[in-house]
Amino acid sequence: MSGAMAKAAVRPVAIKADPPTTHRSDDWKATRTSHRPGFLLPVVFTVPQPHPMDVFRVNGSRPLRGTVHTSGAKNAALPLFAAALLSDETVTIENVPDLSDIRFMAEIMRHIGADVERSDANTWKVHARKLTNHAPYELVRKMRASVCLMGPLIDRLRSAVVSLPGGCVIGPRPIDLHLKGFSGLGCGVSIEGGYVHLDARHLHGADLFLGGRHGSTALGTANILMAAVLAPGTTRIESAACEPEVVDLCRLLRAMGARIDGIGSHALVVEGVERLHGATHRVISDRIEAGTFLIAGAITGGDVTVEGARASDLAALLDKLRECGVPIESPAPDCVRVRADRPHSRKAIDVITMPHPGFATDLQAQMCALMAVTPGLSIITEKVFPNRFMHVPELQRMGADIAIEGPSAIIKGLSRLSGAPVMASDLRASAALVLAALAAHGESWIQRVYHIDRGYERIDLRLKRLGAAIERLPADQMPKHLDGEPG
Ligand code: EPZ
């Protein structure tokens, strides 16, 4: 067998299939077996996958040090996957984070007929030759973002039957603005049996206002934008969301041939076109993940550099970290460094979450953890999801002094927290518990970390590389008397 063939023979093959989630190994494994001397068998790489019932054991109060690189943004990748359905040609999406939510989205898209292939750990190819218009409850309920399949389906099939997403622990998450937008674009909209039925035979461009009680809507803007790009005529979307993830979606749509103006502003103008073609797109880096690592550096008194963190996307967070006294450097446009290992004194501040460019609601819980160990009285007000305080009772278990008054957390900063067994409830709440455990004295056990695996690619391994004493363990290794699981 020639050198070239031998090389071809050892190309990894396992990554093509979405890796199963139950597999347990904590390290890259390479197996090489040969029953004939000198004959190389294909090297199979198994991507280590978290187990749904894993727990984290964390020993805190160690300053983090080092550099971490951000993954692609989950909240950009999900609408980008949906946008790939707008063309019957192949769309390649690179820098996709390796997360359970992404695999869910691929599963739903295959269910409606698209070919969705993973060509390596972070690259996916979507080819939606033919589609069906029905997205069932049992899939949609697993992940809200699948509501943004509605836009592409009505464009390709002029109809869609998509399950309503159902409840969410962070609070009420209606999709009335999405439906108002579709109705404005000439769709017939009805809800029957828990499903949204959209009839788009008379789809057309229109002037729309998408602002709601809590400001603009990110996925709502994405959904309507995707419907408008193939709708005959001109669509103006006022009070559109301008999150970096929405801007990233506009970039892909333009690369596919869409005509969109006002990108990055609250006013988008879309000229409908006949069809869209294939494209290749690289997902932007995850500003929420970057912000979480920056707060991890601040809360542990460490020196952490976050590569891929675009200061422009993090302006509100960096402004608040500076205001509370955390030394911040920006060595490059896409790199931010926390120098909390330098002498500095942190002080209490007030934070109000808002749609972008305001302070991100997805960093609110992590900021609560930081303020819980910052001297003085802080008030953190949640204006986007007013009930989003599931992390507070768990932080109180670690000794935090926090009171909830309506949409605000009133935080009396303490000199330290103590390690405790705690339970994650949702993605960002679990990130806050990990940060609090990294700062706390003693040992913490964090259960239901599957929540964090939905939005952070192997956060345990990356924190470990920054010097954190964190371990991912099977749930049965948690001392029984600490186990908070019911029954
Ligand atoms: C996106 O959710 C993100 N999810 C959320 O991140 C993020 O918290 C949120 O935007 C706000 O930034 C994804 O991108 C997958 P919204 P989305 O519509 O689009 C109300 C995470 O942790 N609203 O911008 O669903 C809504 O109830 C997740 O990664 C209506 O009233 O949020 C909320 O109060 C959690 N009617 C506000 O608007 C609607 O039709 C903003 O929600 C739609 C929204």
Residue 40 has pLDDT above 90, yes or no: no
Sequence-distant (6+) residues with CB within 8 A of 486 are none
Query: Can you read off the two tokens belonging to residue 89?
Result: 């040609």
Q: What is the residue whose two structure tokens read 């709708």?
A: 231
Beta strands in 333-375 (DSSP E): 335-339, 350-352
Active-site positions read 168
CA of residue 159 to ligand 1 center, whole Å: 24
Residue 457 has pLDDT above 90, yes or no: yes
Residue 459 has pLDDT above 60, yes or no: yes
Q: Residue range 375-394: average pLDDT?
A: 97
Q: Residue range 70-85: average pLDDT?
A: 98
pLDDT > 90 in the chain, percent = 84
pLDDT score, position 487: 59
CA of residue 217 to ligand 1 center, whole Å: 6
Backbone phi, psi, residue 381, to 5°: -110, 125
pLDDT score, position 47: 58
Q: Residue range 183-211: average pLDDT?
A: 97
Distance in angstroms (rounded) separating the CA atoms of residues 93 and 56: 31
Q: Which of 271-275, 322-326, 342-346, 442-446 has the lowest mean pLDDT?
A: 342-346
Cβ(349) to ligand 1 under 6 A?
no
Provide the β-strand partners of residue 30.
45
- Residue 322: DSSP 8-state: H
pLDDT score, position 35: 45
Pairing of strands 376-381, 350-352: parallel
pLDDT score, position 8: 43
pLDDT score, position 18: 44
Distance in angstroms (rounded) separating the CA atoms of residues 246 and 387: 24
pLDDT score, position 484: 75
Task: Identify the three-state secondary structure at position 222.
Answer: helix
CA 178 to ligand 1: nearest atom: 40
Q: Find out whether 334 and 366 touch, Cβ atoms under 8 Å.
A: no
Residue 5 has pLDDT above 60, yes or no: no
Cβ(428) to ligand 1 under 6 A?
yes
Distance in angstroms (rounded) separating the CA atoms of residues 308 and 77: 16
CA 176 to ligand 1: nearest atom: 40
Q: What is the residue whose two structure tokens read 């690179």?
A: 94
Q: Which amino acid is at 445?
A: W
Cβ(211) to ligand 1 under 6 A?
no
15 falls in which pLDDT band (50, 70, 90)?
A: very low
pLDDT score, position 169: 85
Which residue lies with its CA nearest to atom 35 of ligand 1?
Answer: 362
Cβ(366) to ligand 1 under 6 A?
no
pLDDT score, position 483: 77
Of 475, 481, 372, give the one whose Cα is nearest residue 433: 372
Query: Can you read off the two tokens belonging to residue 138?
Result: 């049992």
pLDDT score, position 51: 80
pLDDT score, position 1: 41
Q: Residue range 479-486: average pLDDT?
A: 78
Q: Which amino acid is at 273?
A: V
CA of residue 171 to ligand 1 center, whole Å: 10
Which residue lies with its CA nearest to atom 7 of ligand 1?
Answer: 362
Burial class (CB in 10 A: 0-12, 13-18, 19+), 30: exposed
The average confidence (pLDDT) of the chain is 91
pLDDT score, position 48: 57
Residue 126 has pLDDT above 50, yes or no: yes
Q: Residue range 18-40: average pLDDT?
A: 43
Query: Can you read off the two tokens belonging to residue 32?
Result: 């090489």
Residue 7 has pLDDT above 50, yes or no: no
Backbone phi, psi, residue 388, to 5°: -80, 70
Sequence-distant (6+) residues with CB within 8 A of 479 are 445
- Residue 460: DSSP 8-state: H
Cβ(361) to ligand 1 under 6 A?
yes
Q: Residue range 92-98: average pLDDT?
A: 97
pLDDT tens string 341-372: 999 999 999 999 999 999 999 999 999 999 99
Cβ(301) to ligand 1 under 6 A?
no
Residue 10 has pLDDT above 60, yes or no: no
Q: Residue range 76-84: average pLDDT?
A: 98
Angle at which helices 74-83 and 150-157 cross, to 10°: 10
Task: Identify the three-state secondary structure at position 394.
Answer: helix
Pairing of strands 234-238, 267-271: antiparallel
CA 76 to ligand 1: nearest atom: 14
Q: Find out whether 223 and 148 touch, Cβ atoms under 8 Å.
A: yes
43 falls in which pLDDT band (50, 70, 90)?
A: very low
For ligand 1, pick from 384, 388, 454, 457 the residue to mutate: most ligand atoms within 8 Å of CB: 384
Distance in angstroms (rounded) separating the CA atoms of residues 138 and 278: 30
Backbone phi, psi, residue 149, to 5°: -80, -20
Q: What is the residue whose two structure tokens read 């989630």?
A: 21
Q: Residue range 401-406: average pLDDT?
A: 98
Q: Residue range 284-303: average pLDDT?
A: 98
Of 406, 356, 357, 354, give the one whose Cα is nearest residue 379: 406
Residue 27 has pLDDT above 60, yes or no: no
32 falls in which pLDDT band (50, 70, 90)?
A: very low
The string of DSSP letters for 345-390 reads -----EEEB-STTSB-GGGHHHHHHHHHTSSEEEEEE-SSSTT--T
Q: Is the peptide bond before 357 cis (omega within 30 degrees of 0)?
A: yes
49 falls in which pLDDT band (50, 70, 90)?
A: low
Q: Residue range 386-394: average pLDDT?
A: 97
CA of residue 167 to ligand 1 center, whole Å: 13
Task: Identify the three-state secondary structure at position 366.
Answer: helix
Residue 92 has pLDDT above 50, yes or no: yes
pLDDT tens string 412-448: 999 999 999 999 999 999 999 999 999 999 999 999 9
